[in-house]
Amino acid sequence: MRESIVVIGGSGYIGKHLVSTLSNNQNCVVKVLSRNVGTNVDGWAWPSGVEVFQGDLNSPLSLDGLFERGCTVVNLSYFWEAGEQANLQVIENILRACQKVGVKRLIHFSTAAVSGRVPDDVIDESTDCIPLTEYGRTKLKIEKLILHNGFYFDRVVLRPTAVYGPGGAPLQKLANDLLNGSRFRNYLKSCLFGRRRMNLVHVANVVDATVFLISDQQKLGGQIFIISDDDAPENNFEQTERILTQALGGLQYPISPVRFPLGLLSLLLRFLGRNNINPACNYSQKKLEARGFVRRVEFSKGLQEYAHWYGTCHSIGSAQEVR
């Protein structure tokens, strides 16, 4: 019997990769929630075999028929412009719809950013969260709403760090600066941020972790799991910049950047009002790995893959501009 999986927020960056992966799995049936049954706004079409259910998370009645007994639900939805109360109400609607039919499990995507401004160099699921931004505070309240309510189905929260990969946003500015930006400005930025941890995680590893937890037959019991690639020594600004520069065919700096003290960088991050002001912090994935998860994409290979994608897109764009 094939497992039924419902994905909410499947048209987002992680969602597209997850739906594509699940649609190739012969052991599951994939259903996605969408306001539009046809092609998405950006022209991206759902993979063949994926069932599209038309509904609105703000309208509980429109969710009738979305879930079925024993299915697994993956929620990636978040309304950026809606505010705290609207997002909490959406989660309430999802929880009640799941409870109504008796789903097997809800896997909810949060973010590692909920940890906020903590002094720890290693952040894990037991770290007390001190989020400063509205986004971080709202995400944390959503987690508590999901985990602490008396709903009778399995629930789990995922906290990925900054998700990158082909088509992803986190590295696009850095890659563009390396190709088109001022060499002097890039050098100064490398001096300042060189030792800062990047806290990146490849989208394929995030998808694989999600699929791993979908297939986990044991009760997860309201646990939280961080997904990160922070155990890779190269996951800092200096090495990320070096790998991207080399893969993009750029020139290394003639003089090695002078690394600013981390304390000075921390003060600058505080002045800029950043959520995380500890440039040395790492998010630990050990809890997920202890359950048996093994990542597929190593960090340096992931960066090279990203650089190849970015370089190809840049070359195509330049050729089109010439025409």
Among the candidates 227, 242, 266, a domain finishes at: 227
For helices 203-215 and 13-23, angle between their N-to-C axes, nearest 10 degrees: 50
Domain residue limits at 243: 172-198+231-281+297-322
Is there a domain that residue 286 lies in?
Answer: no
Exposed e or buried b per residue across 194-231, where buried means at least 16 C-beta atoms within 10 angstroms of its C-beta: bbbbbbbbbbbbbbbbbbebbebeeebeebbbbbbbbe
Number of domains the chain contains: 2
Q: Are residues 215 and 186 in the same domain?
A: no
Specify whether 239 is located in the same domain as 222.
no
Same domain? For 274 and 315 the reply is yes
CATH of the domain at 104: 3.40.50.720
Contact assessment for residue 113 and residue 151, using Cβ atoms and an 8 Å cutoff: no
Helix (H, G, I), strand (E, B) or coil at 67: coil
In a shared domain, residues 120 and 261: no
Tell whether the torsion through CA atoms of 154, 125, 145 and 110 is positive or negative. negative
**Mean pLDDT by groups of 10 residues along the chain of 323 residues:** 91 95 92 77 80 94 94 96 94 95 97 92 95 93 90 94 94 92 94 94 98 94 96 96 92 90 86 84 97 96 95 59 31
Residue 15: the pLDDT is 96
Q: What is the pLDDT of residue 318?
A: 43
At 313 the pLDDT is 84
In a domain, 291, yes or no: no
Residue 8: phi, psi to the nearest 5? -110, 130
Instruction: Give the containing element (helix H, strand E) for 21.
Output: helix 13-23
* Residue with the two structure tokens 């770290």: 127
| 304 and 158 part of one domain | no
Residues 83 and 115 reside in one and the same domain: yes
Residue 287 included in any domain: no
Contact in structure between 160 and 228 (CB atoms under 8 Å): yes
Shortest CA distance to 52 belongs to which of 16, 6, 98, 90?
6
Whether 176 and 257 map to the same domain: the answer is yes
Q: Quick one: 244 and 304 in the same domain?
A: yes
Q: What kind and span of H or E run contains 212?
A: helix 203-215
204 and 194 housed in the same domain:
no
Q: Is 79 part of any domain?
A: yes
Supply the Cα-derived Rg of the chain in whole angstroms: 21
- Note whether 184 and 208 are same-domain residues: no
Residue 85 lies in a domain: yes
- Give a yes or no: residue 256 inside a domain: yes
Residue 96 lies in a domain: yes
Angle at 211 between CA 209 and CA 212, to 5 degrees: 60
- Are 31 and 93 contained in the same domain? yes
Both 177 and 64 in one domain: the answer is: no
CB distance 275 to 282 below 8 Å: no
- Closest by CA to 29, choosing from 57, 52, 13, 9, is 52
Is 289 a member of any domain? no
